[in-house]
Structure 1
Amino acid sequence: MVVFVAMLVVPLLYAGYLSLFREQLIGGTTFVGLDNYVRALTDERLLGGVLRVAEFFLIQVPLMLLLGLLFALALDSGMLWLSRFIRLGIFVPYAVPSVVAALMWGYLYGPEFGPIAQLAGTLGLPAPNLLGGDLMLGSLANIVTWEFAGYNMIILYAALRAIPSELYEAAAVDGAGAWRTAWSVKIPALRPALMMALIFSVIGSFQLFNEPQLMQRLAPNVIDNAYTPNLYAYSLAFTSQDLNYAAAVSFLLGVVIVVVSYTVQLAITRRRT
């Protein structure tokens, strides 16, 4: 509890305090109330970043959860050879630091010397500009999916192992095959685990930072300092030295994450009811 208060609660309270002030050339630090929040709500760069990560969420998260679900079902089926090694191989990318993963994929995406471009040249095809404006969001989604599909697979696989064997026996008595059992028994039993994975994915998507921050050095004309809200807050705080406005942006991002997470949970709960 002491560590939780010292490392999370106190910094949050201090950031909230900073967000109510503004550093001015004349007059020094001045209390401005909610002016920083009003400014953030009308900041086109911030709103553009929020819409961009929302698009990223809609593209990347369904694909990642689907892959995690398919991997978990395949492992739980018991029909895979060397399942332990396969499970470890799928999970290993999650153990790779996101910085290393971004650097590795940045090399693979390279338009001149990257293996993907070289392979396209060998086949006589034009090299795809994976670091261009049209494909950058998809390239980032691929990196995050590669990193976290195994993490979600472990969550879902653990939930599958906790399903009572009596359900499988009852399905077998009713004549259900492997596909029918997966659709009618396993997937419905995974709803709580899928909900948890989805909430984690909402939080992770709107906090996207490491991957675009590193890719910015490879494609500075595509990824600016406001490409994502987290990157924008970081730039405001440590490049522009506008700590007060950066604190307000961070708080608003937290509110967006809470609202989206609650909305997703409410929608799924109503659908299930």
Structure 2
Amino acid sequence: MTLLDTRQAAGPVPRPGVTPRRGRGGGPAGYFFVAGYTVLLLAFGVFPTGYALYLSVTNDRGQFTGLNQFVKVAQDYRFAPAFTHIVVYLAMWLVLLVVLTVVTAVALRGRMRPGLSALLRFLYYIPGALAGGASVLVWLFMLDPDVSPASWLVEALGFHTFAAVLAPGNLPVIFVLIAFWTGASGWVVVMYGALNNIPDEVLEAARVDGAGPWQTAWHIQIPMIRQWIAYMTILAFAGGTQLFVEPQLLQTASLGRVDPTWSPNQLAYVFAFQQGDFNGAAAISVFLLALGLICAGLLVSRTNMFTMDEK
């Protein structure tokens, strides 16, 4: 049996004595359990999205203006830099998130002792318990050479003042560090759980066939959790496009050293609450919505995320 045969055979393995079911009939209990979420989804998801779409194609008097709002915000001198910043940030954030969380989960799921694996998963999860605002404040102290407990490391990297740390070219890296520190830990736990769903018989067959730990990970484990990786990427992408708290707090704490329209969400905030242009802010939000839907659609189609395995 070759490694390729093992990978092809890595399908769902029914448990002994359990007859696979092709489907289950619905009932009133199911509708009851989803009713609460459906109400919240409509109230805080569907309705605001529809209202934003309405605002983006009208003016402040409610008159239909077509694509004029989109053209107006796209021609704003702050629009292109804000979206460029977020694209650079997303490219760094998603690569780091996918690579390190999957590698860490595979290592924890490997031949590590269960007790040590559980301890490390707990330690990884601790930073995720901090809210975004609190994590920014922690990193403000960590990155300031005057007060940081790791000032020797910051200065060794060539940053002797806080202003040097907050140079425009460094901001994507800073925001990626904050996002990874607070957001990656939970995904390590999710990827670990996904790896636990792989039948032990499949992994044992790969070992019998002579596959080492990393060969097993690359050819068996990672392909079998590709839908979970796609799910993580979609949610991380959606969260990344909405970056607001981190640059906004950093801008305030640094006394204006960070551009107040660094991210598209910040630009939308300025349009809405400083310029009183809610229609323009809605147009920016629709741009972000379209970007997220397009990228999510590509990931779903490429990974067959919603394809059900035949039992």
- Normalising TM by the smaller chain, what interval? 0.7 to 0.9
Q: For residues 31 and 171 of structure 1, do their structure 2 counterparts lie closer, same or farther at Cα, with a shift above 3 Å needed?
A: closer
Distance in 2, matches of 1:191 and 1:227, equals 33
Deviation sequence 1:211-259 (CA, Å, 0-9, x none): 1111111335542232111111122112222111111111111111112
**Residue 98 of structure 1, aligned match among 95, 120, 132:** 132
Please report how far the alpha carbon of residue 210 of structure 1 lies from its aligned counterpart in structure 2 after TM superposition: 1.3
Deviation at 1:120, TM superposition (A): 5.2
Question: Once the two structures are aligned, what percentage of the paired residues are identical?
Answer: 30
1:116-149 deviation line (CA, Å, top 9, x unaligned):
335556x797527322222121111111111111
Change (3 A) 1:51 1:267: farther
Rate the CA distance shift 1:98–1:125 in 2: closer, same or farther, 3 A. closer
Q: What residue in structure 2 maps to residue 145 of structure 1?
A: 180
The residue that corresponds to 1:242 in the other structure is: 277
Contact 1:18 1:244 in 2 (8 A): yes
The gaps in structure 1 that reach 5 residues or longer are none
CA gap 1:45/1:125 in 2 versus in 1, 3 angstroms:
closer
Q: Deviations over 1:41-92 (max 9, x none)?
A: 3233122211111111111211122111121012101414522121011112
The residue matched to 1:261 in structure 2 has which SS? Answer: helix
Change (3 A) 1:94 1:219: same
Q: Are 1:70 and 2:103 matched, yes or no?
A: yes
Cα distance in 2, alignment partners of residues 64 and 47 from structure 1 = 25
Q: Give the aligned residue type for 1:22.
A: N
Q: Secondary structure at the match of 1:226?
A: coil
Q: 2:74 aligns with which of 41, 54, 63?
A: 41
2:228 is matched with 193
Partner of 2:190: 155
Structure 1 window deviating more from structure 2 (7-16 vs 251-260): it is: 7-16
Residues 94 and 120 of structure 1: CA distance in aligned 2, closer, same or farther (over 3 Å)? closer
CA offset at residue 262 of structure 1? 2.5
Question: Normalising to structure 2: TM-score of the pair?
Answer: 0.77
Gaps (5+ residues) in structure 2? 1-37, 305-311
Q: Does 1:54 align with 2:54?
A: no
> 2:204 — aligned with what?
169
What SS is found at the alignment partner of 2:66? coil
* Alpha carbons of structure 1 residues 134 and 92: separation in structure 2 relative to 1, 3 Å: same
Q: CA distance change for structure 1 residues 156 and 132 in 2, over 3 Å: closer, same or farther?
A: same
Question: Normalising by structure 1, what TM-score?
Answer: 0.87
- Which stretch has the larger CA shift, 216-225 or 201-210? 216-225
**1:181/1:131 Cα in 2 relative to 1: closer, same or farther (>3 Å)?**
same
Distance in structure 1 (CA, Å) of the matches to 2:257 and 2:170: 10
2:210 partner letter: G
The residue aligned with 1:116 is: 150
Going from structure 1 to structure 2, the CA distance change for 1:189 and 1:236 (only over 3 Å counts) comes to: same
Q: Distance in 2 between matches of 1:119 and 1:57?
A: 26
C-alpha distance in structure 2 between counterparts of 1:72 and 1:120, whole Å: 29
Query: Does the 8 Å CA contact 1:132/1:219 hold for their aligned counterparts?
Result: no
Q: What code does the residue aligned with 1:235 have?
A: V
Q: 1:6 and 2:39 equivalent?
A: no
Q: Specify whether residues 77 and 237 from structure 1 end up closer, same or farther in structure 2 by C-alpha distance, changes over 3 A only.
A: same
RMSD over aligned Cα atoms: 2.3
Give the whole-Å Cα distance in 2 for the aligned partners of 1:125 and 1:257.
36
Q: Which residue of 1 aligns with 2:120?
A: 86
Q: Are residues 179 and 3 of structure 1, via their aligned partners in 2, closer, same or farther at CA, if it must alter by over 3 Å?
A: closer
- On the 8 A contact 2:271/2:278 being kept in 1, the answer is yes
